[in-house]
Amino acid sequence: MRYERRVTTPVNVGGVVMGGNEPIRVQTMTNTATDDVERSVEQCLRCAEAGAELVRLTAQGVRQAESIGMIRNELRKRGCDVPLVADIHFNRNAAYAAAALTDGVRINPGNFVDPARTFRNLEYTDEEYAAELARLREAVLPFIKLCREHGTAVRLGVNHGSLSDRIMSRYGNTPAGMVESVMEFLRVFVAEDFDQVVISMKASNVVVMVEAVRRLVAAMDSEGMRFPLHLGVTEAGFGEDGRIKSAVGIGALLYDGLGDTIRVSLSEDPECEIPIARHLVACVETLRRSVDCEAEPYDGFDPIAPAHRPVLYPEAWPVKGPVVIATAGVDEITEGTLPDFYVLTDAAAADGKHRCIVPGAQWTPQLPLCYPLFDVRTDRDAIIACPAPLVFVAMEAGSKPCEAWMDTLKSQPRAVVLVQCTGGAKSLMQQGNIHALTRAGVTAPVVLHNYYTTVDADALQVAAGADMGSVLLKGLAEGVWLEAYRADRTDLVRYSYAILQAARLRTTTTEFISCPGCGRTLFDLQSTVKQVKQATSHLTHLKIAVMGCIVNGPGEMADADYGYVGAGPGRVSLYKGKTLVEQNIPTDIAIDHLLALIKANEDNIEL
């Protein structure tokens, strides 16, 4: 197994080529009002200086599309040649105008031809559905003609939750529906011999986003299409949670060789997104330079929508789901964000109150809540003989376990395997080990044990999220143990739980789904996200969305339990799921109304 990037058709966006043999491109989107040309120009300049290779701006109508043309002209006068892409929802006339004035146009197949979704269930005969596709084709042809005339690239951007009623009625709000939504458009572009198209498949749910992209690649391959991919986790949120969530989703696909351009969507200033994206690209470079790793998949492994590997959990397994392990020194067992297990170098430090992993040679049955750690290479007899309810067994990532090792692991039903990795290409080497274990019939839980030397918090969050997330999302691990040079244990534990939550494997905090903001945003998004988070962070069983406008409202917040959505200047609407409950609430009392809505539905109970 080796990192190998999927070959795609080169697409030229204003002089920046993505796909083909080009580097993975990094982009972002402004959050200024597009009609405020000067502020938008200044923000584009900051983004370009930070390293953005493309910048997207929203165009609600023809006027905003024309403003993007003015912004583009002003940037060129100031010596900045960063390409600009217009972001279109609902308004075809805005797309036509933008095609003549910008370097690229993003349209959403869910609302470019079909009307705004109403979540109605529509029924079509095959003949009626074919007529709908013919109508779609006729609506798209003028747009293709304009883009061809002006050398304008197209991005087909599908968002989970903003699929049309027509698609949802036939395919559901599913990855399969997302794929068909874009394939309908791609078939028109292919028939018209227009190949300057990039595709994105985004969701706030990382699992949905990753599956949708994998299914799209399979669908394109089956029809001989090689369009480049833009990757992103939409509405990823704020701070370290947003960074880790993006790294888990984008990283899992990049590590599979998918993706030609990326955007990390944070509820922060757009220039803050660029360094995070650069860290992700650096992770891929590490993989690209790696050696081959043996990783023949076990029988029945599905690379598109993987089921979890066969596992038999020991009776003493402490939680439902994957565990978090952390290293602790003699005096470092503290309250706060607690792991499921502490690893001690000295069994004397065990306090009898917390689960601890201690060196196998120091373990005795008299140590309460303590479990031994052995090395599979040197301690085979001790592993087999140990009566502990859990026996942790370390193996080096990239090693090739012999038949005797496999027999040792299979003979100990209380075994937990720690696959340790300190070097690069962690994901590939660990996948190789786990596939080998599973092929040999080892059903013991596997914990990823990764060590990092970076002291930069952002780089650590991104690398750990991408490395561990890419394995977890393939159903190949049952726990994480994160170590890093000079890093605080509490931070590492928090990152570990965030990685598991991003992979939808274990929920320990309130999940906040928040858009990054754009020219459509109707309130101060960054301060609002912080206020909502402060008011609801104790409700760890809920998913709460904070969306800047109705375009990113009831549809694109997808599976959130509650939505706080911009309805107009200084006004907010509240949703329970996709149902509008209260609208046009003044922003100064909107959070109180959100809390009252949660209480009225008896969802204010802390778990």
Helix axes 175-191, 126-150, angle to 10 degrees: 60
- Looking from the CA of 115 toward its CB, the CA atoms found within 13 Å total 4
Parallel, antiparallel, or unpaired: how do β-strands 25-29 and 11-13 relate?
Answer: unpaired
State the pLDDT at residue 564. 83
pLDDT one-digit tens code per residue, 173-183:
889 999 999 99
Q: What is the mean pLDDT of residues 226-250?
A: 90
pLDDT, greater one: 62 or 560: 62
Element (H, E) at 158: strand 153-159
Element (H, E) at 202: strand 197-202
Helix axes 489-502, 239-255, angle to 10 degrees: 60
Q: What is the mean pLDDT of residues 392-400?
A: 90
The rounded distance, in Å, linking the Cα atoms of 367 and 390 is 13
Q: Return phi, psi of residue 6, to 5°.
A: -65, 135
Whats the size of the chain, residue-wise?
Answer: 607
Q: What is the mean pLDDT of residues 390-406?
A: 88
State the pLDDT at residue 172. 82
Whether 251 contacts 280, CB under 8 Å: yes
State the pLDDT at residue 330. 43
pLDDT, greater one: 363 or 116: 363
Percentage of the chain lying above the pLDDT 70 cut: 92
State the pLDDT at residue 607. 44
Whether 544 contacts 536, CB under 8 Å: yes
The rounded distance, in Å, linking the Cα atoms of 442 and 490 is 32
pLDDT band at 262 (very low <50, low <70, confident <90, very high): very high
Q: What is the mean pLDDT of the chain?
A: 89
Q: What is the mean pLDDT of residues 550-573?
A: 73
State the pLDDT at residue 120. 65
Asked if pLDDT for residue 592 goes beyond 60, the answer is yes
pLDDT one-digit tens code per residue, 77-87:
999 999 999 99
What is the CATH number that goes with domain 323-502?
3.20.20.20
State the pLDDT at residue 236. 67
Asked if pLDDT for residue 406 goes beyond 90, the answer is no
Choose which CATH entry (3.40.190.10, 3.20.20.20, 3.20.20.70, 2.60.40.2140) describes domain 26-288: 3.20.20.20
What is the homologous superfamily of the domain 511-600 according to CATH?
Answer: Sulfite Reductase Hemoprotein, domain 1 (3.30.413.10)
Asked if pLDDT for residue 401 goes beyond 60, the answer is yes
Query: Which strands form 511-514's sheet, in the order they lie side by side?
Result: 511-514, 543-547, 562-568, 571-576, 579-586
pLDDT one-digit tens code per residue, 414-426:
999 999 998 888 9
Asked if pLDDT for residue 18 goes beyond 70, the answer is yes
Asked if pLDDT for residue 136 goes beyond 80, the answer is yes
The rounded distance, in Å, linking the Cα atoms of 70 and 41 is 9
Element (H, E) at 11: strand 11-13
Percentage of the chain lying above the pLDDT 90 cut: 60
For the ranges 19-23, 126-130, 327-331, 481-485, the lowest mean pLDDT is seen at 327-331
Whether 227 contacts 197, CB under 8 Å: yes
Asked if pLDDT for residue 154 goes beyond 90, the answer is yes
Which of 292-296, 301-305, 544-548 has the highest mean predicted lDDT (pLDDT)?
301-305
Asked if pLDDT for residue 394 goes beyond 80, the answer is yes
The rounded distance, in Å, linking the Cα atoms of 291 and 295 is 12
Asked if pLDDT for residue 14 goes beyond 80, the answer is yes
pLDDT, greater one: 278 or 336: 278
Lookup: tokens for 322: 């994957």
3-state secondary structure of 380: helix
Q: What is the mean pLDDT of residues 498-517?
A: 84
One fold for 26-288 and 323-502: yes
Q: What is the mean pLDDT of residues 28-43?
A: 94
Parallel, antiparallel, or unpaired: how do β-strands 153-159 and 197-202 relate?
Answer: parallel
State the pLDDT at residue 400. 80
Output the DSSP codes for 523-547: S-HHHHHHHHHHHHTT-TT-EEEEE
Whether 73 contacts 45, CB under 8 Å: no
Whether 467 contacts 502, CB under 8 Å: no
Q: Where are the domains of the chain?
A: 26-288, 323-502, 511-600
For the ranges 292-296, 398-402, 556-560, 603-607, the lowest mean pLDDT is seen at 603-607
The rounded distance, in Å, linking the Cα atoms of 525 and 578 is 21
Element (H, E) at 358: strand 356-359
pLDDT band at 286 (very low <50, low <70, confident <90, very high): confident
pLDDT, greater one: 109 or 291: 109
Asked if pLDDT for residue 311 goes beyond 90, the answer is yes
pLDDT, greater one: 244 or 596: 244
Closest CA to 140 of 125, 124, 156, 126: 156
